[in-house]
Amino acid sequence: MKAFAFCIIYLCCVLHSNGKDVHNTSRVASQYPDRIAKSQQGKPSFHFRPPHNWMNDPNGPVYYKGFYHLFYQYNPYGSVFNRTIVWGHSVSSDLTSWIHLNNALVPTEPFDINGCWSGSITILPGNKPVILYTGVDTNNQQVQNLATPRNVSDPFLKEWVKYSGNPLTTPPKGVNPDNFRDPSTAWKGKDGSWRMVIGGLRNNQGVAILYRSKDFIHWILHDDPLHFGVETGVWECPDFYPVSVNSTSGLDNSAYEENQKYVVKASFLSHDYYVIGNYDSNNEKFVPEGKGLTGSSSNLRYDYGKFYASKTFFDVAKNRRILWGWITESDSATDDIKKGWAGIQSIPRQVYLSNNGRQLVQWPVEETEKLRGNHVTYSNKKLKRKSLFEVRGITASQVDIQISFNMPKMEDVEVLEPTWDDPQTLCNTKLARVSGRAGPFGLLVMASQDLTEQTAVFFQVFKESNKFVVLMCSDQSRSSLRQGVDKTIYGAFIHMDYEDKMISLRSLVDHSVVESFGADGRACITARVYPQFHERIEAHIYVFNNGSRDIVINTLDAWSVKTGRGAVTD
């Protein structure tokens, strides 16, 4: 019934929308499978992207009247970035099939004539959505603006009206006009007033600039920022939200419960960093657990690969917090022009506090599992040292694979040296082909049959103070024979107790994108890969163990992922 209702809604949308880019991905894919197979090589098939052109930051995700809305930074004129940016807009009933609508915000007024930049949506009392966004005005300064739906009864929210009194705020003293951007989702304090933070740079410190308002129109600058960081550069796309201490359920931004902590996230230095702490709402202070955001290798990140400018929202329909992040391309602008598109969004991830309360956990939303097709499984399989085997019976270029390994004995692993404090640097030394004692072991994805091209996602286990420290790497050094593509190697540490018996890896492979989740989502690494063979023949996927000790695969499950549900196929 849901699928039938969605098709009816889709037909109505096509009939009544003025947009040119209104598509249901699954319908397009099923009608022209041969044409798509030839023209879409390398294009992600179940990650979200608009039909054409450039896309970057996710903006204003929200659930409203039965639909998930995803807005995003979009260049309607080409597949490379330019400064005439607009808010693209798509809707979905299930986070996997998307309808692409007219652009929601375009530069038309003095306060945004040079671009409608990133921002958020807040749901006001009475279920009224409001957009806060950055505009670049006629003086090329960044200002904050407001827009509301023309018709709040429209579940598609197709038309938005900009507030005639814009801008709401202009760069405060000490903030350069081009370092004041990306308002967060607002939250209501115990005193009934609203708060929001805006990213910026003040006194050479990255800051989450705090504002308060009683009516959501007139905003007053708070003397001190909610949080700040040194040696980080300008903070972009700040996010601030509560997380439950004893539940994986999400919390509304304005929730105040006894057992909750808070997350401050900022985008800078090409990564999304976050810190967990407590919020003193009476004094408007965020108190981090630890040293706060500095951009050092010890800081927590949402993702240790290609993932930036992310945005979360509270999904009231399923009582969860969902995270999206922008995944950039790794090829050149010339390649993007030839492709006619650039930029995708990550798989939507549920995010919550870990059991020990020291970090966040991320996991693909449950709707992703609806895309699974052919299934293969293994259990209790010994993987001898310096060996590999191929996982057959699935489509290796579109696969969702989960594997769990038994942890080695403590005496079988190497000691983590004190100088090995940067996981990315360590991954560049201990490559997939460099043998250790307990590892490397993991997956070779998007691999050619002769393994001349391969992307390795793997673990290597060390010990430190009677605990396991697992190095998780995504090794793109041999991902492609092509020249001129980024082959950066990414790494993260996962700290595990001696009593832990298994470590898991889940990778979602979608042609040129590999999203990997280690230890049930305690570390995430996203990579873009462009193997040359993929233009001619099918990919392969292998499980490997290049360590000097045997490894036991506890379970392995792999599914082909259905084509054309999460992205448009032109």
Hey, which residues are catalytic here? 57
User: Can you tell me whether residue 492 is helix, strand or coil?
Assistant: strand
Give the β-pairing of 341-342 and 53-64. Answer: parallel
Contact (Cβ atoms closer than 8 angstroms) between residue 558 and residue 375: yes
| The two structure tokens encoding residue 570 | 């032109």
Euclidean distance between CA atoms 268 and 207, whole angstroms:
11
Task: Decide if 262 contacts 276 (C-beta within 8 A).
Answer: yes
Residues, the chain: 570
Report the distance separating Cα 462 and Cα 474, nearest Å. 17
Which DSSP helix (H) or strand (E) runs through 16? helix 2-16
For residue 192, how far is the Cα from the chain centroid? 32
- CB-based contacts of 148, cutoff 8 Å, min separation 6: 128, 129, 130, 131, 160, 161, 163
Tokens of 185: 């989702």
**DSSP code at position 535:** G
Residue 418 preceded by cis peptide, ω within 30: no
How far is Cα 129 from Cα 65, in angstroms, rounded to an integer? 11
Q: What span, in angstroms and rounded, lies between the C-alpha atoms of 308 and 322?
A: 15
Fill in the amino acid letter for 73: Q
Q: How many other C-beta atoms can be found within 10 angstroms of the C-beta atom of residue 18?
A: 9
Nearest to 209 by CA among 172, 178, 177, 241: 172
Contact 470, 464 (CB under 8 A): no
Q: Rg (Cα) of the chain, in Å, rounded?
A: 23
Residue 333 per-residue DSSP state: H
DSSP one-letter code for 20: S
Q: Report phi then psi at 212, rounded to 5.
A: -130, 150
Can you name the residues that pair with 63 across neighbouring β-strands?
A: 68
In terms of Cβ atoms closer than 10 Å to its own Cβ (0-12, 13-18, 19+), residue 82 is exposed
DSSP 511-529: TTEEEEEETTTTEEEEEE-
The three-state (H, E, C) secondary structure of 145-193, written as one string: EEEEECCCCCCCCCCEEECCCCCCECCCCCEEEEEEECCCCCEECCCCC
